[in-house]
Amino acid sequence: MQKASGQKPLGRTSLKATALGLGTTAIGGLYSATSDAAAFETMEAAWDLGVRFFDTAPQYGNGMAEQRLGSFLKTKPRDSYVLCTKVGRLLRLPREPEGEDAYYKGTPPERPVFDFSYDGVMTSVEESLRRLDLDRIDVLHIHDPDAHYAQAMDGAYKALDKLRSEGQIGAVGAGMNQSEMLVKFARHGVFDCFLLAGRYTLLEQGALDELLPLCVEKQISIIIGGVYNSGLLANPGAGAKFNYQEADKGLIDRALQLERACLRHGVPLKAAAIQFPMFHPAVASVLTGARSREEIIENDALFRHPIPAAMWDDLRSSGLISPQAPAV
């Protein structure tokens, strides 16, 4: 059983993240439009549950998630929460109208343009501060630089390192859906935290091989996103998504095996999925991308659901999770 308001430091910084954080893809309109009122209600419910760690990005809702989060956080004492956003995408109007965004619905017309250069990152930070309408950002992540490693290190990292050395931000991170490049970042830069989405979950523990031990060694905190692997661990079955695509039969069968094993111990699969990452010493927080007040309340309840140690032993002994995965 976890507690949403429990806190861990982010790397060697003075910043602390609550065990349960709120990600803002859903309140930015991911897959379906969300109203201002529903978004505000979701954030207020998270706050009431003790959540003080908030993650956003220019890409989420093409600026709308940052605007909504900033409007909400302006109602709270500035030193009472930790705010993360990202760099690597500038929001610009396309030369020709493009219609509705492929992923974010009910959003402004701007679209993200990759830019991991030093100047592009400095511009991105200025524009994020304007959208947020807050005095500072606590954590800045380099956002999904999969095909841009060299520019990310030569440009984005140097910009963020400068902002950190000047005290304008508290922590430098990178957010990705893969662990391999995060290993390179950890070896060649001074990072405080990484946001790892979908690669350390009940279904997939490849990050145990190199990234997580390295982060323990270097005191780099891990923030976990995508604990339900795009929905497969929330509702396994035909049509379930994995990595934003339709899951294949093998993955669905494995998720169903996990579900059956959890239920034998009276534990919902979602409770096991949301709690599992927090047992690793590198992990500081799990982000939940709630869309509504009801979802964040449910996620908090799942985060606190009692889980017997015997269930984790069962999952390890049956090969459903890695024997190296700490889960006690």
Please give the Cα distance from 302 to 273 (Å, whole number): 9
Q: What is the DSSP letter of 104?
A: B
The yes-or-no answer on residue 86 being catalytic is yes
Kind and range of the H or E run holding 162: helix 158-165
Kind and range of the H or E run holding 84: strand 82-87
Separation in Å, CA 182 to CA 147, 172, 176, 178, 323: 13, 13, 8, 7, 23
The yes-or-no answer on residue 118 being catalytic is no
Q: Which of 60, 104, 200, 228 is catalytic?
A: 60
Q: For 112, phi and psi rounded to 5 degrees?
A: -75, 140
Separation in Å, CA 52 to CA 21, 228, 236, 304: 7, 21, 30, 17
Q: What is the DSSP letter of 208?
A: G
CB atoms within 10 A of CB 326: 16
CB atoms within 10 A of CB 166: 8
CB 41 within 8 Å of CB 292: yes
Q: Helix crossing, 158-165 with 118-132: angle to 10°?
A: 60
HSE of 137, CA atoms in CB hemisphere, 13 A: 31
Q: Which of 31, 36, 48, 55 is catalytic?
A: 55
The yes-or-no answer on residue 55 being catalytic is yes
Please give the Cα distance from 12 to 175 (Å, whole number): 18
Per the listing, tokens 């430098």 go with 172
* Selection from 173, 157, 165 nearest residue 120 by Cα: 157
Q: Which of 86, 138, 144, 300 is catalytic?
A: 86
Please give the Cα distance from 136 to 87 (Å, whole number): 14
CB 71 within 8 Å of CB 43: no
Q: What are the residue numbers of the active site? A: 55, 60, 86
